[in-house]
A and B are shown apart, each in its own frame.
Chain A
Amino acid sequence: MSLILATEKLSKKYRGKYALKDADVHISQGDIYGLIGRNGAGKTTLLKLINSQIRPTSGHVLMKGRPMAYGSPGIALGALVESPGFYPDYSAKDNVRFMCQAAGRDRKGYAESLLKIVELDGTGSKKAKQFSLGMKQRLGIALALVNEPELLILDEPINGMDPQGIKDMRGLLVKLNRERGVTILISSHILDELAKFATTYGIIKDGLLVTEFTRDELEHRNTSGIEITAPDAQAVADALKEGLKLQDIRLLSPRKLAIGDRVEAWEAVSRWLFDQRIYVSQFHVRQHSLEDYFMGLTGGGEA
């Protein structure tokens, strides 16, 4: 898949201190890219740089392989960075219609359709300043969608939302991604939620992009071992040591054994047991969560 966005040694310095340093981000077309990092790690700085809210100290942003001129994204972009920006004294519809006009997309019914997507179509003339936190977030997303973005940038979009709102938001983002082909760059503190739908991840720590990996790579890297339940665990352990030359096998109980960390060939183990007609009642691949993986990489702390 071709890259829709890449950065080259992108850096931003505030008062002599780097908020982001030499970041090389790679986002493929069609990705849902989850950006993870602790508070102050540089996530929002990166998103602001991509949205031309701030000027880089050095480095470049490339959109579809072409260097982005500051203030001219070169692709259809939508962004919700930090708190949603709206006119508090106007209704959701007015706010969206203003943006529709600015973007040259003021066709009949378009603003209403966007409000329907984020479920704000029933708010009528209620002023945006009277909205709940979740409603304000959804209004921010509607505004970000006005430009029919190829790339949608969302900074903590599910902050302040209730569980149902979070679920709906996930559904909306997945739908936008699958049905409209919108590439999404999203940062979130709620890693378990991010793990449910992001296809690629980037981890930022202290202004540095530590690593990037896909969902498949995460599953691969994150497999921590296998747990097998069998009537005679000891016999199974002996067979595996003999047949597959596995060494890191621990007996957890007479009926349960664990094969050590980083067992990457769990499919081979499963197949071998099947081929040898060794009966097991349970075969469980243990995986760490995205959060565990993040903690392992960054040394803990809040994401």
Chain B
Amino acid sequence: MINTLRMDFRRLFKTRGFYLACLWALGIMAIMATASWFLADEFAREAGGLAGLSGGQMVAEARKLFNVSRFASFFMGAPSFMHLFLVVFAAGYISRDHQSGYFKNLLALPGAREKWLVGKQAAALAAGALFYGVVILGSVVVTLLFGNTPRIDVPQLAAFFGLHLSADLALFALLTLATALFQTRTAAVMVGMVFAFNMQALIYLLIDQIGFLPFDLSEYGMVGLAGRLDIFTFGQAQPDLLSSMMMGRGGFSNMAPTTPGQLLPVSLGLWAVLTFLSWITLRYRDYRG
């Protein structure tokens, strides 16, 4: 197993797409940071009268509110945005062996299917963790550019991104299932995108509207739950005036932030089921390559 992991990680770090995804994330962070700079201005104008401060003072005060945690959570606050980012990369990475036929070579090794399943999920998870690490690093840089001192609340960030990673893990298991079933990159990317785009939320909403179930299924939509995670509910609780202004939060604005107790069982439950189905599919579906 260790050998397979070494191979998967080696390939991950030699995948250009991974670095491009990180650069893309940093680029988007730069755009959002610029937008935030001007949004702070708008925020200050709206709130200035209430505080009795001058416009310039209010803008300065507003910009002080932008810290590492807030920047890091910007991306994740946009429902499914970063998950989509990560899932598109992971779909290509995970399905590559099947698509290219490299999987045939691996099948000559004992227990190749099981090792593939574990190796791909582990490498994708590591990619996710590194990706979020880059997001945090970008947040530190942007915080510095805002003229604020970057203070990193490790438990807060770890809890926040750990929960997002749990959702990613379930999405990666979905990708391994899609790859095992359809054995093409296109299918894995399409399935990943549909779920990361939170199409599931629409389907759940439809089921809820029909009233088919005695409870609201929307409450259990994994990507929806992840999108409603609020970084400030972990650790330092503070009023989150900026988040709702800057992120809009769309359809989630009227919903309470997700708690770990809501997201973790859904994510890990889905991961377990999807991983089991992936394993069964790998074992019993012929490899067509």
Which positions in A face B, CB cutoff 8 Å?
A: 48, 51-55, 70-74, 77-79, 81-90, 94-95, 97-99, 101-104, 106, 143-144, 146-147, 149
Interface contact A79-B108, CB-CB below 8 Å:
yes
Q: Beyond A55-B284, A77-B108, A79-B107, is A104–B100 a contact (Cβ under 8 Å)?
A: no
Within 56-107 of B, Cβ neighbours of A (below 8 Å) are at: 96, 100-107
Interface contact A86-B102, CB-CB below 8 Å:
yes
Q: In the assembled complex, how far is the CB of residue A160 from the closest CB belonging to chain B, in whole angstroms? A: 16
Q: In the assembled complex, how far is the CB of residue B109 from the closest CB belonging to chain A, in whole angstroms? A: 6
Q: Beyond A79-B104, A86-B100, A88-B100, is A54–B287 a contact (Cβ under 8 Å)?
A: yes
Q: In the assembled complex, how far is the CB of residue B27 from the closest CB belonging to chain A, in whole angstroms? A: 23
Interface contact A72-B110, CB-CB below 8 Å:
yes
Report B-chain residues with C-beta under 8 Å of the C-beta of A97: 10
Among A82, A90, A98, the residue within 8 A (CB) of B7 is A98
Within 10-51 of B, Cβ neighbours of A (below 8 Å) are at: 10-11, 14, 16
The contact size tier of chain B is 20 to 34
Report B-chain residues with C-beta under 8 Å of the C-beta of A90: 14
Q: Beyond A53-B286, A103-B3, is A98–B107 a contact (Cβ under 8 Å)?
A: no
Interface contact A71-B112, CB-CB below 8 Å:
yes
CB closest chain-B residue, reference A14: B286
CB closest chain-A residue, reference B285: A55
Among B11, B96, B113, the residue within 8 A (CB) of A71 is B113
Within 151-179 of B, Cβ neighbours of A (below 8 Å) are at: none
A72 to B108, CA, bound (A): 8
Q: Beyond A70-B283, A102-B7, is A51–B111 a contact (Cβ under 8 Å)?
A: no
Report A-chain residues with C-beta under 8 Å of the C-beta of B103: 85
Interface contact A79-B110, CB-CB below 8 Å:
no
Report A-chain residues with C-beta under 8 Å of the C-beta of B106: 99, 102
Q: Beyond A98-B11, A144-B108, is A87–B102 a contact (Cβ under 8 Å)?
A: yes
Among B6, B14, B105, the residue within 8 A (CB) of A79 is B105
The A interface is mostly helix, strand or loop, or mixed, namely loop
A149 to B109, CA, bound (A): 10
Among B101, B108, B111, B287, the residue within 8 A (CB) of A147 is B108
A122 to B115, CA, bound (A): 32
Report A-chain residues with C-beta under 8 Å of the C-beta of B10: 97-98, 101
Among A53, A73, A84, A98, the residue within 8 A (CB) of B287 is A53
Q: Beyond A55-B286, A98-B7, is A143–B105 a contact (Cβ under 8 Å)?
A: yes
Q: In the assembled complex, how far is the CB of residue B186 from the closest CB belonging to chain A, in whole angstroms? A: 16
Interface contact A85-B102, CB-CB below 8 Å:
yes
Interface contact A85-B287, CB-CB below 8 Å:
no
Question: Any chain A CB within 8 A of the CB of B4?
Answer: yes
Q: In the assembled complex, how far is the CB of residue B185 from the closest CB belonging to chain A, in whole angstroms? A: 12
Interface contact B112-A99, CB-CB below 8 Å:
no
Interface contact B110-A73, CB-CB below 8 Å:
yes
Among A83, A101, A146, A149, the residue within 8 A (CB) of B6 is A101
Interface contact B101-A53, CB-CB below 8 Å:
no
A103 to B108, CA, bound (A): 9
Q: In the assembled complex, how far is the CB of residue B115 from the closest CB belonging to chain A, in whole angstroms? A: 8
